[in-house]
Amino acid sequence: MILDYQIVYSDRKTIGITVERNRRVVVRAPCRARTETVAAVVESKRYWIWQKLRDPRKYLAKPVTKEFVAGETFLYLGQAYPLRLVETESGPVTFIGQQIKLARCDRRRARTRFRDWYLAVAKIHLAPRVASIAKSMGVDFRRISIRDLKYRWGSCTPGGTLVFNWRIVQAPPMVIDYLVVHELAHLLEQNHSSEFWNIVLVHAPAAAKARAWLLTHGHRLDW
Ligand SMILES: [Zn+2]
């Protein structure tokens, strides 16, 4: 197996290897480390890297890069909508008539504009879903927080705060519901035990389909 990796030099003391969720291998090395030394360390960790690369939780495809150009599609609840750049003054992203619109002059801050928009729509979509699913599961949660999480779709604190990544609002409702059930189920079972998965399956019968969707399409949400 040919191993492609990126070396990031910094003023650290040791060589560290990480396999990111998009299956990119990143080797962090001290500034003065020689390339041969780095290669030898990578070689000695080959089996470990290979195992990490095979982890089913890693994406199957490379991440997408957004350019914020006209016609580029953006996902919202599993549907792809084309971007229209409009000649208006700077302002938030709008979603009207099946089109996502952004002011042309805002292209430089498009990423922030889009994140703000997704955060807002995620809140609108998730609040009633979490309330209704929590009711049918018979669990009490404290509050919902939507954030820019780096490596997770969601999490749940022991105090009952459900945290969701804004990116999940790009996924189909079936996937969002599964993620909500998953986090709520952690209020009943903290670990991923067989009891936990039984609870998830009762309340999200399409859990396997949702997880398969995330495995195949997760990279499309992560930009
Ligand atoms: Zn979990």
Within a domain: 65: no
Residue 86 pLDDT level (bands cut at 50, 70, 90) = very high
**How many C-beta neighbours within 10 Å does residue 221 have?**
21
**How many C-beta neighbours within 10 Å does residue 136 have?**
11
- How far is ligand 1, taken at its centre, from the CA of residue 191, in Å? 7
Within a domain: 23: yes
> Does 14 share its domain with 87?
no
Within a domain: 64: no
> Does 87 share its domain with 195?
yes
Residue 57 pLDDT level (bands cut at 50, 70, 90) = low
> Does 115 share its domain with 173?
yes
Within a domain: 182: yes
At 72-85, the pLDDT tens digits run 999 999 999 999 99
- How far is ligand 1, taken at its centre, from the CA of residue 1, in Å? 32
- How far is ligand 1, taken at its centre, from the CA of residue 165, in Å? 14
Within a domain: 61: no
- How far is ligand 1, taken at its centre, from the CA of residue 199, in Å? 12
Within a domain: 1: no
> Between residues 66 and 152, which one has the greater pLDDT?
66
Rounded mean pLDDT, 90-105: 92
- How far is ligand 1, taken at its centre, from the CA of residue 182, in Å? 6
The count of domains in the chain is 2
- How far is ligand 1, taken at its centre, from the CA of residue 207, in Å? 12
> Does 40 share its domain with 136?
no
Within a domain: 27: yes
> Does 101 share its domain with 164?
yes
Contact 223, 196 (CB under 8 A): no
First to last CA, the chain: 28
Domain that includes residue 206, residue range = 73-221
- How far is ligand 1, taken at its centre, from the CA of residue 104, in Å? 40
At 98-148, the pLDDT tens digits run 899 999 999 999 999 999 999 999 999 999 999 999 999 999 999 999 999
> Does 50 share its domain with 77?
no
Within a domain: 68: no
> Does 86 share its domain with 187?
yes
**What percentage of the chain carries pLDDT values higher than 70?**
96
> Does 80 share its domain with 47?
no
- How far is ligand 1, taken at its centre, from the CA of residue 215, in Å? 15
Contact 84, 96 (CB under 8 A): no
